[in-house]
Amino acid sequence: MKAKANEKCRIVIKIGSNVLGRKDGSLDITRMSALVDQIVELRRAGHEIILVSSGAVASGKSIMKPKNKLDLVSARQLYSAIGQVRLINQYYTLFGHYNIICGQILATKEDFGTRRHYLNQRNCMSVMIENGIIPIVNENDTISVNELMFTDNDELSGLVATMMNCRKLIILSNIDGIYNGNPSDNQSKVITEINTKKDNIEEFIQTSKSSSGRGGMQTKYNIARKIAEEGIEVIIANGKKDNILPDLFNKPETVCTRFIPSAKSTSTVKKWIAHSESFAKGEIHINDGAKEALISNKAVSLLPVGITKVVGTFEADDIVKIIDESGTQIGVGRTTFDNEAVSKLIGQNKSKPVIHYDYLYIDK
Ligand SMILES: Nc1ncnc2c1ncn2[C@@H]1O[C@H](COP(=O)(O)OP(=O)(O)O)[C@@H](O)[C@H]1O
Ligand SMILES: N[C@@H](CCC(=O)OP(=O)(O)O)C(=O)O
């Protein structure tokens, strides 16, 4: 990893379920304790840490057997409710040995959907960090079910990293990084560096995942690409390896996959918008001229003169998708007006922007 040992920064560390679980499904307290020791070492080196930890469901499963056979949703709700208490209790005790306080944040996808929730959440984590507390984040699995769920905690860790303006996101799994083939094949090697502008390694990603993992390598790759393009360095490394976290900083030969961060800096509002696509309430269709202007590198807002059609019902300030003449989505933005007002403005050129440049995110 390129970071220098003395380069202090704010980091999100995401720990996957399988890192914290033993083969029999029980919580691997020894591993957890070792990771806490390593996090403390990074803190002592001056880094600010936000932890995103999976493991509630896996931990709950080893606590009790339900009386009757449960459907998948009920089982996940039951296991996460009891497992999260155990998980956070363990972290609290382990950090407590160092006189460090940790605090729990349970997030749902909805918390990233409205700007107000987003800012409340950001404020909560900021005040914790300012007071030396380690925020420990997990999805609120008890109420996040079906379409309300994050793809997995990799997605959540990416959202937290952008929301908190972090320099790095370290994703710890049970594997050394992304392999250039099937990881179980002796010929396959870890891809040590990925430049998202040039390298497309999608073909190497298998659908396989660990016994307790949710999204597999595909979500890690998708998230890592997007986050690196927003200027945050992303590292995928093996959380089961002893001393992995300090080694990533101090030993450049440590095996991992590193996504080179883009040099461009994106405003936090634009970052929020970039990750808000799944909350879009409607669509604004635009003509080729407007598309050309929006995809140029200039700071251009979307004006009604380039709009051809409005689809869906939305309010002012909602997130909408921007669709080109071929029906392809080219970006997302926060609309200044509701759908009826935008429909009335179509074709006009003397109006406030329908989507201001500051609230516009174009896929490039
Ligand atoms: N090209 C690849 N390189 C590395 N791992 C891969 C690749 N393709 C698929 N995988 C799988 O992805 C798994 C990690 O994802 P996942 O099980 O979701 O972990 P976690 O619980 O840490 O989020 C690996 O254990 C491996 O089986
Ligand atoms: N929120 C769940 C973890 C879901 C998840 O994304 O797991 P993983 O793919 O192991 O990071 C839990 O705590 O069990």
Q: Which ligand is nearest to the CA of 173?
A: 1
Neighbours of 259 (CB within 10 A): 26
Q: Do 187 and 332 reside in the same domain of the chain? A: no
DSSP 269-329: HHHHHHT-GGG--EEEEE-HHHHHHHHSSS--PBPGGGEEEEES---TT-EEEEE-TTS-E
Ligand having the closest approach to the CA of 183? 1
- CATH number, residue 219: 3.40.1160.10
Give the structural domain span for 144: 10-269
Going across the sheet that includes 10-15, the strands are 102-107, 134-139, 48-53, 10-15, 168-173, 233-238, 257-259, 193-194
| pLDDT recorded at residue 2 | 45
Cα–Cα dist 176/202, whole Å? 17
211 lines ligand 1 (CB under 6 A): no
Instruction: Write the pLDDT tens digit of every residue in 163-193.
Output: 999 999 999 999 999 999 888 899 999 999 9
Q: Is the pLDDT of residue 5 over 60?
A: no
- Residues 313, 236 share a domain: no
* CB of 3 closer than 8 Å to CB of 46: no
- 300 and 169 together in one domain: no
- Centroid of ligand 1 to alpha carbon of 15 (angstroms): 13
End of a domain among 269, 289, 323?
Answer: 269
141 is in an annotated binding site: yes
The residue behind tokens 């509002």 is: 269
- 33 and 161 belong to one structural domain: yes
DSSP structural state of residue 358: G
Q: C-alpha 74: how far from its chain's center?
A: 25
Do 191 and 309 share a structural domain?
no
CATH code assigned at 326: 2.30.130.10
Element (H, E) at 229: helix 216-229
Sign for the pseudo-dihedral over CA of 190, 192, 195, 199: negative
- The reply, when asked if residue 54 is annotated as ligand binding, is yes
Answer whether residue 108 shows pLDDT above 50: yes
In the listed set 269, 288, 308, which residue is the last one of a domain according to the structure? Answer: 269
As a whole number, mean pLDDT of residues 301-317 equals: 93
User: In sequence order, what are the beta bridge partners of 14?
Assistant: 52, 171
Please work out whether the CB of residue 255 comes within 6 Å of at least one atom of ligand 1.
Answer: no
Within 8 A by CB and 6+ apart from 7, the residues are: none
H/E stretch holding 106: strand 102-107
Is the full-model pTM beyond 0.95? no
Same domain, 185 and 238: yes
Query: What percentage of the chain reaches a pLDDT higher than 90?
Result: 65
14 marked among binding-site residues: yes
Query: Among 269, 296, 331, which residue terminates a domain?
Result: 269
Report the distance separating Cα 109 and Cα 131, nearest Å: 26
How much distance in Å is there from the Cα of 106 to the middle of ligand 2? 12
Q: Place 320 in a pLDDT band, splitting at 50, 70 and 90.
A: very high
| pLDDT tens-digit map of 329-343 | 999 999 999 999 999
Mean pLDDT of the chain: 90
Classify residue 242 by its DSSP letter: T
Per-residue pLDDT at 7: 65
Same domain, yes or no: 166 and 63: yes
Q: How many domains does the chain have?
A: 2
Interface predicted TM-score (ipTM): 0.94
